[in-house]
Amino acid sequence: MKIAEGRASCPQRAAAMLNASKFSLCLIFAARWRQSALPSLSFFADMRAQTFTFCTLMKSPPLILVSPNIEKKGDEFGDLSTSLSETYQQALMRAGGIPMALPATVSRSVIAECVSRCDGVLLTGGEDIDPHIYGNGLAQSLRKTVTVTPDGGARDLRELLLIDEVFRQHKPLLAICRGHQVLNVALGGTLFADIRSQKPQAQNHRRMDKRSQVVHEVRLTADSLLAKITGARKLGVNSTHHQAVEKIAPPLRAVAKSDDDIVEGLELKPGALRSVPFLLSVQFHPERLVDRYEAHRAIFRAFNRACGLSRKSKI
């Protein structure tokens, strides 16, 4: 809806500015993939197809910058607050990393400094991405199914800036659930705003009642990083989402799909592998399964190892 000049409220003006900034960033990201990738330390080149050896007790553990969720009312004073589930933190520490939360800011300089000081970045789950960023032609009936972040879209902008800095500074990236989706959008892809409405033949992917249980399998691409990490061609996963990747961003490829053809994993295409030392995004929540499933523990160990290599390259 167009906001009349001089009559919009401050929140409306702020939201309009955020949407314009987010859309511009997406265009910039897409354009960058026309340029040649910059060389950097590559985790992929050090991969072994079958066997991995990881050290969980590192002398200098890598620092992992984690983008937290936003809550409308925090417990302390009822203010807008950041929230980070312990499951992410425990999974990272179990793999040998030290998590630290990204502050609630849309300052590029602050975000750039945070990325500079860390050894890798984790994008987490949460509310839906504002559909204005990827789907201006979305029907009103679909828009009603979308629940955006309670901060007026600031998290969307913050994570678009964060992704930009990850590529600019060549840091390892692991993206989970919402993170998987925002990565795809940032690089020029689109989303199904609501699976049930747009793919009625699909199974129920929003199994919040079994958020920490395996509810279906995904097929893994044989030569993918995810298949090499897990040592499998099929992987049992949980499922708590109602949105999904639709059009895959140009630099990415699907490496995991469910039986109903929902994209459950993304990686960089071979020609873009040198852009960052490690990149993996998954639609499921491996951090909620690491206590019982070796394959999901291996995802965090591989990410932590890439972050450790990134840390060594700075010394």
- Where residue 266 sits, what CATH number does that domain have? 3.40.50.880
Compute the distance between CA of residue 228 and CA of residue 220 in angstroms, rounded to an integer. 10
Residue 4 falls within a domain, yes or no?
no
Most confident by average pLDDT, 32-46, 98-112, 204-218: 98-112
pLDDT at 315 over 70: no
Does 36 or 59 have the greater pLDDT score? Answer: 59
Does 1 or 135 have the greater pLDDT score? Answer: 135
Residue 5 falls within a domain, yes or no?
no
109 pLDDT band (50/70/90 cuts)? very high
Tell me the β-bridge partners of 82.
70
Q: What is the mean pLDDT of residues 195-215?
A: 74
Residue 134 falls within a domain, yes or no?
yes
Per-residue pLDDT reduced to its tens digit, 234-268: 999 998 778 999 999 999 999 999 988 899 999 99
Arithmetic mean of pLDDT over the chain: 84
Number of structural domains found in the chain: 1
Q: What is the mean pLDDT of residues 287-294?
A: 95
Residue 2 falls within a domain, yes or no?
no
Q: What is the pTM of this model?
A: 0.83
The residue count for the chain: 315
Tell me the β-bridge partners of 216.
237
Cβ-in-10-Å burial (0-12, 13-18, 19+) of 167 comes to buried
Residue 47 falls within a domain, yes or no?
yes
Instruction: Give the distance, in angstroms, between the CA of residue 270 and the centroid of all CA atoms in the same chain.
Output: 20
Lowest model confidence (mean pLDDT) among 13-17, 75-79, 166-170 = 13-17
Compute the distance between CA of residue 282 and CA of residue 254 in angstroms, rounded to an integer. 10
Please report which helix (H) or strand (E) contains residue 83, including its range. strand 81-83
Q: Domain limits at 131?
A: 10-314
